[in-house]
A = this chain, B = another copy of it.
């Protein structure tokens, strides 16, 4: 990611998702309109960036009161949400894999976790959180059978590099990798390496900054 021919840049998609979360929270607080500079301020970016992102998706209904929050949310929904359901599989049904399935079940209509893989004999061929779990040896077969297009890697980090080839061979289209091993996939496979450490580091950085400011 990003694919060079994608019209909307990856970072814009990420920001749209973040804007939507903020807008939903505004709506819950009864805020019906928001100015671009206010939305920008909530995300630590410039109003120009917000307006550019919204221009990229063709949203231009700015009024004297700012953007209509509800309309903008619906507009972003149309961009981000797929028309068809996509099937997702989890590789690694340890604590993280189970947390993700618990978290996801029923949350998104267009994305659903349909199966899981592990090598632990206590998990293989059992049903965990209503998700059938198979041995990794059967990965290609089950992916085809269940029409899986996206995998989430929540295996131990040391295992992650060995998953690249099976994922390519099975024709997977998108990978979300939560391990600490950054993985590379050929063009045509969307992949995201996501390291929870990054966010905790960010929070820690700003706590440190606040403390230093208070002490000066």
Contacts and interface: CB of A to CB of B under 8 A. Distances in A.
A153 to B, nearest CB: 11
A166 interface: no
Given A80-B201, A96-B95, A98-B95, A206 B1 contact: yes
A71 interface: no
B200 A176 contact: yes
Given A99-B96, A173-B207, A111 B188 contact: no
Contacts of A14: 198, 202
Contacts of A44: 1-2, 9-11
Copies in the complex: 2
A182 B21 contact: yes
A122 interface: no
A162 interface: no
Given A98-B95, A150-B207, A207-B150, A200 B88 contact: yes
A209 to B, nearest CB: 5
A180 to B, nearest CB: 8
